[in-house]
Structure 1
Amino acid sequence: MTTATRVYVARLAGLAVFDPNGDQVGRVRDAVARIRDGGLPPRVVGLVAEMPLRRRIFLPIGRVTSVDAESVVLSTGTLNLRRFEKRPGELLILEDLLDRKVTITGTGVAATVVDVAMETTGRLGDWVLSRVAVREYTGRLSRRGHLYQLDWAEVGGLVGEAESQGTASLLAVFDNMRPADLANVLQDLSEERRVEVATALDDERLADVLEELPEHDQVEIIGALSPERAADVLEEMDPDDAADLLAELPKPDQETLLDLMEPDESAPVRALLDYVPGTAGSIMNSEPVVLTPDATVAEALARVREPQLSPALAAAVYVARAPMATPTGRYLGVVHFQRLLREPPAAMLGGIVDNGIDPLGTGTRLPEITRRMATYNLVAMPVVDDDRLVGAVTVDDVLDQLLPRDWRDRDQQVSRD
């Protein structure tokens, strides 16, 4: 395997990290460099990799045997699993330098950092930050400035307190991350940077990320938005997640945001807030897939293919009399996804509906919900009120309640050796 002699760090982000046996141990999230005196370019000391269960660890650069466009390979499978914590005098390349406002030495031209290259000195495991890609700052949205690739010494303002730092280049690095992974990255940023990056996301992307963050981070970010934009983001969230977030806010703030939301978007959220905490009504999703009994298998399969549905919600189609919006007409039963795959596309749902398992009531408590889902090996169950379908409880809703309240918080950081 060929090892590159110069690598731009933004291109490393997301690359798989393999041990000598070819087993993947994580993905690169950043690189760490130590600042040196005398204007010397910082020396790269390691990479930050994200492991399963969202743990970020430090990989010493000396253990990296090869780097290419597709992967990073280590010389050993033995890793220090202590959570990474940046030390004084160190830089996280992507977090600290991307989008940083700098000046081009000699000309005084203002620019922003779009990438930083690390380059091997020729000695095994010895890498330094050699080149900086910067874009001239024009201050005009309609015109992009010239892109320069300069030596580290030709760029001023790379070290020390940043005068200002944008988000465009960092967001480009995060673009292909799953919402849960991006939420994990945001938790490792400083409070100011976290809010800055989160609020730069578009409404739909921010809504997806908020659903993966702990409550205190959700409140911090939603509070940094204007009320109008906060309402727009809440509209993009699943009603149950929006209700959980609003429940963390003071009552006057809840009402302000609910009033700013579109009535058809706020109505299911208001309904969820009215249920007793810990009941099926309070944790259910009020927008499951609902069809009438004369709908066909082909129609049902088309609905469960919709990309915005979570796997748990897409696992079943609920059959009810019109109207189909919750609360529906009389609930008739459920058709599970596997059954849909076994039936002819033209078959009607009314002929294959399963009504052998009693639905949950809105007041069913969490222990009973858990017991029944485990008994019947289900990933979702319907919730009814007076024989009308009002929502569905999914396994992720149940897990969210069973896990400790702060389960989305990162483990307490511990310094590396």
Structure 2
Amino acid sequence: MRPLAVNSLVHLILPDVQELLRDGTAEEIAEALAPFHSADIADLLEGLEDAEAAKLLQALGLEQRVETFEHIEVGDQVRLFGAIGPEGMGTIIEEMSADDRADLLNELPQELASGLLSQLPAEEAKDAAVLSNYGEETAGGIMTSEFVRLTLDMTATEAIERVRTQATSKEQVFALYVLDDEERLRGVVTLSKLILAKPDATMGEVMYEHPISVPVEADQEDVVGRLRHYDFLAIPVVDGEGRMLGIVTHDDALDVVLEEQTEDVQKMAAVEPLEAPYFETALLTLVRKRAVWLTVLLGAGLVAGTILKGFHHVLEKAIALTFFLPLIIAAGGNTGAQSATLVIRGMAVGEMGPGDWLKVARRELLSGLMLGTLLGALGIGMAYLLGQGAVASTVFWTLVAIVTAGCLLGSLLPILLDRAGIDPAITSSPLVAGLVDILGIVFYFLIARLFLGI
């Protein structure tokens, strides 16, 4: 299993659990872990060897066993599946929620997955096969087909009875969906409204008409945005003809948010996104995903060095300029990285889009001039403090120019990439810094020529 999760409770009880696994019976193990939440037991499994984890999981009661298994990362599920075997896993897979089951089957070898599908009840096997066919990052790929269906002519009494009989097998029952005879979504009834409705009122009378939904092919980030915007616990997923296929729940949306944020953070740090957790990623894969961008940034550094060489005669005549070169480069790169981060995050949460480029440019131009003036004033002070007052004006105006350029480049490059259909997170902080470094060197020496007459 993976390295132990950061969970103080798990660290505390792990030695006792390992001793219990060595000397205790299945009944004793189940009794000892019965009070614990399934998520904590899943964390506990990560600190055990595969054989120990398999023994612990099999000792749990069925409901707790299934819930614990669903809390485990898919990669660890596959390894645990190998340790337990198809026969021991059959019941767990049959009882899993539809979307979690589909995710696991997608990760198993084709032959093994097909064998497991053949052992499932016909309806569940068909459902798992259908869910597995949707794109991984679409609404269909993250939805579950488990939701409470109501009909237009069903009374409140009948609907409550249906909720009562189906609640334990559905992902959530806070929102109930009213479908017509052709499975088209016609309305939504909240559980609270259903309970307060008159016993003989029909769903067609109490439902909210014109429900909000997402198409099955919608990008998962758009689905999360809809859930966040409308503050839903779940949102229905429909096909092109309005037939309801499933729901995306808030917990699945949280997984998407974590996945997308992790990917964006890695891109912004000039790392090609990892497809598995850090410790599960092969060392050579980790090196390759980092080396790509490091090579690109090395090229940017080479360009900066070449430009610097072209101005060697300026340096020879005013050696004091070298004292402030690191300051100039750092100020421009840091400013550009700040602007890129602010804009990328703003775009990610829907605060701005490509159409706002002019407003962004205005704000960043003013920000750059103000920040550049502030840093330039500090630069003048540093120049006189170091006894290099002759280059003070050069340092001041270069800082004003490069900080302003950094703000504009860092803010507009993500917008330009987004307009071109490229993920703006690829505008990594090191990349922006590298580009601004090049500009900084050019500005510095051109301004030095102007003020020093070199």
* Map of 1:258 onto structure 2: 117
Contact 2:127 2:145 (C-alpha < 8 Å) held by counterparts: yes
Q: Deviations over 1:347-370 (max 9, x none)?
A: 111112223334211101112112
Cα deviation for residue 320 of structure 1 reads: 0.7
- C-alpha separation in 1, matches of 2:116 and 2:219: 29
| 8 Å Cα contact 2:179-2:186 kept in structure 1 | yes
After TM superposition, list the pairs within 5 Å mapping 1:285-364 onto structure 2.
Answer: 285-305=144-164, 308=168, 313-322=172-181, 329-364=183-218
1:260-287 Cα offsets, whole Å, 9 max, x none, are 2221221111000000111111111102
Q: How does 1:146-295 map to 2 (within 5 A)?
A: 166-295=25-154
Q: In the alignment, is the contact (CA less than 8 A) between 2:54 and 2:84 conserved in 1?
A: no
Q: For residues 322-381 of structure 1, give each alpha carbon's deviation from its aligned partner in whole angstroms, at most 9, with x where no partner exists.
A: 3xxxxx622211112232233223211111222333421110111211222222111111
In 2, the alpha carbon distance for the partners of 1:99 and 1:190 equals 11
Pairwise CA distance, 1:200: 2.9
SS at match of 2:198: coil
Task: Indicate the residue corresponding to 2:244 in structure 1.
Answer: 389
Query: 1: CA distance between counterparts of 2:178 and 2:214?
Result: 15
Picking from 13, 20, 28, the partner of 1:98 is: 20
* Aligned amino acid, residue 55 of structure 1: N
3-state DSSP of counterpart to 2:177:
strand
Q: Which residue of 1 aligns with 2:346?
A: none
In 2, distance between residues paired with 1:319 and 1:194? 42
**In 2: Cα distance, 1:349 partner to 1:307 partner:** 18
Q: Choose 1 or 2 for highest CA Rg.
A: 2
Distance apart, 1:187 and its partner CA: 2.3
1:410–1:186: structure 2 CA closer, same or farther, 3 Å change rule?
farther
In structure 2, distance between residues paired with 1:406 and 1:246: 26
Q: Which amino acid aligns with 2:258?
A: L
The answer to whether the 8 Å contact 1:187/1:410 transfers is no
| Residues 276 and 374 of structure 1, relative CA distance in 2, 3 Å threshold | same
Matched, 1:398 2:253: yes
Matched, 1:374 2:233: no
Percent pairwise identity: 31
Structure 1 Cα separation of the partners of residues 261 and 105 of structure 2: 17
Structure 1 residue ranges (4+ consecutive) displaced by more than 6 angstroms after TM superposition: 409-412
Confirm or deny: 8 A CA contact 1:199 1:221 kept in the other structure. no
Q: Distance in 1 between matches of 2:236 and 2:184?
A: 12
State how far apart, in whole Å, the 2-side matches of 1:388 and 1:307 are: 22
Q: What's the counterpart of residue 323 of structure 2?
A: none
**Residue type matched to 2:178 in 1?**
V
Q: What amino acid is aligned across from residue 253 of structure 2 in structure 1?
A: V
Deviates more, 1:242-251 or 1:201-210: 201-210
Say which structure is richer in helix: 2
Aligned residue number for residue 413 of structure 2: none
For 1:330 and 1:300, the matched residues in 2 are separated by: 18
CA distance in 1: counterparts of 2:211 and 2:236, whole angstroms = 10
Partner of 2:316: none
Cα distance in 2, alignment partners of residues 54 and 313 from structure 1: 29
**How far apart, in 2, do the equivalents of 1:56 and 1:404 lie?**
24
Q: CA RMSD in A?
A: 3.1
The answer to whether the 8 A contact 2:224-2:257 is kept is no
Shift of the 307–337 alpha-carbon distance from structure 1 to 2, 3 Å rule, reads closer
Indicate the structure with greater strand content.
1
- Alpha-carbon spacing, 1:330–1:84, altered in 2? closer, same or farther (3 Å): closer
Structure 1 residues 279 and 353: CA distance shift in structure 2, 3 A: same
Preserved CA contact (<8 Å) 1:284 1:383: yes
Q: Helix, strand or coil: the match of 1:314? A: coil
Deviations 1:143-171 (A, max 9, x none): xxxxxxxxxxxxxxxxxxxxxxx433122
Letter aligned with residue 313 of structure 1? Q
For residues 208 and 200 of structure 2, the distance between their equivalents in structure 1, rounded to whole angstroms, comes to 18
Q: Contact conserved, 2:50 with 2:80, CA < 8 A, in 1?
A: no
1:393, distance to aligned residue in structure 2 (A): 1.0
Is the alpha carbon distance of 1:296 and 1:255 closer, same or farther for their aligned partners in structure 2, counting shifts above 3 Å?
same
Once the two structures are superposed, residues 40-60 of structure 1 have per-residue CA deviations (whole angstroms, 9 ceiling, x without a partner) of: xxxxxxxxxxxxx97216xxx
* C-alpha distance in 1 between matches for 2:167 and 2:154: 20
TM-score scaled by length of structure 2:
0.52
Between the aligned partners of 1:175 and 1:100, the Cα distance in structure 2 is 18
1:167-199 Cα deviation digits (max 9, x unpaired): 331221112333223222222333321111112
Task: Pick closer, same or farther for the CA change 1:232–1:357 going to 2, 3 Å.
Answer: same
Give the number of aligned pairs: 261
Which amino acid is 1:264 matched to? Answer: E
